């Protein structure tokens, strides 16, 4: 695949195209996070789902990204040690995934 470098990493130009297509500053300003998102989508959806950057952009429509855990909780109306906090922890690895950069990606449908 042309978007994977010889070292097995997502190419910077491909990450930039996906980041621009998603349109979130969290990704536009952090191509490493974008590459991590691409790798996560690839793992979750399977390699047969992706032929181009448009496929990754389309797949992201089923996800939300939060800069950190507190941002996720705030969006859901919870705080640390609240019931929402505990419910969200239960979803880690199921529908909530933590990228190595620290962002939380939540599959909201699909």
Q: Which residues of the chain have pLDDT under 70?
A: 1-2, 4-8, 110
The pLDDT tens digits for 10-39 are: 889 999 999 999 999 999 999 999 999 999
pLDDT for 53: 93
Residue 38 sits at the vertex; the CA angle it makes with 31 and 3, to the nearest 5 degrees, is 80
- Mean pLDDT across the chain, nearest whole number? 89
pLDDT for 4: 66
pLDDT for 6: 64
Q: Which residue shows structure tokens 């959806």?
A: 45
Sequence spans of domains, the chain: 12-107
CA distances from 23 to 18, 61, 76, 77, 86 (A): 8, 11, 22, 24, 30
pTM of the entire structure?
0.89
């Amino acid at each position: 695949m042309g978007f994977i470098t010889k070292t097995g990493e997502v190419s910077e130009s491909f990450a930039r195209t996906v980041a621009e297509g998603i349109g979130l500053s969290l990704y536009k300003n952090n191509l490493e996070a974008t590459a991590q998102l691409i790798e996560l989508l690839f793992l979750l959806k399977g390699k047969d789902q992706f032929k181009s950057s448009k496929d990754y952009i389309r797949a992201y429509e089923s996800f939300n990204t939060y800069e950190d855990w507190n941002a996720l909780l705030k969006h859901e109306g919870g705080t640390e040690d609240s019931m929402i906090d505990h419910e969200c922890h239960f979803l880690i690895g199921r529908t909530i995934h933590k990228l190595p950069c620290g962002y939380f990606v939540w599959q909201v449908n699909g």
